[in-house]
Amino acid sequence: TEYGVSLASINRWRNEFSSTTNNREDLSVLETEKQKVKALEKELKEMKLERDILKKAVSIFSKSDR
């Protein structure tokens, strides 16, 4: 072409650049999703602990009612 660079090279460079840009965006989305999963796992752990505490409390109170 005008600057001595073939059209094939320009197309290849453009494709490489766009895939690199998309990969960065994908990594950002993936990191956000990982953070959400981690937060949900923490919440689930806390809920299970609360559930187990309530089960024990119900067991204790039901024994004292007899």
Does residue 43 carry a pLDDT above 90?
Answer: yes
On whether residue 54 sits in a domain, the answer given is yes
Across 10-35, average pLDDT: 82
Give the range of the structural domain holding residue 15, as residue numbers without chain letter. 7-65
On whether residue 29 sits in a domain, the answer given is yes
On whether residue 16 sits in a domain, the answer given is yes
On whether residue 1 sits in a domain, the answer given is no
Helix locations, 1-66, DSSP H:
7-64
User: Who wins on pLDDT, 64 or 5?
Assistant: 5
- Which DSSP state fits 4? S
Backbone φ/ψ region at 28: left (φ over 0), alpha (ψ -120 to 50), beta: alpha
On whether residue 2 sits in a domain, the answer given is no
| Structural domains in the chain (count) | 1
User: Who wins on pLDDT, 18 or 61?
Assistant: 61
Output the pTM of the full model. Answer: 0.57
User: Who wins on pLDDT, 44 or 3?
Assistant: 44
Say which amino acid occupies 45.
K
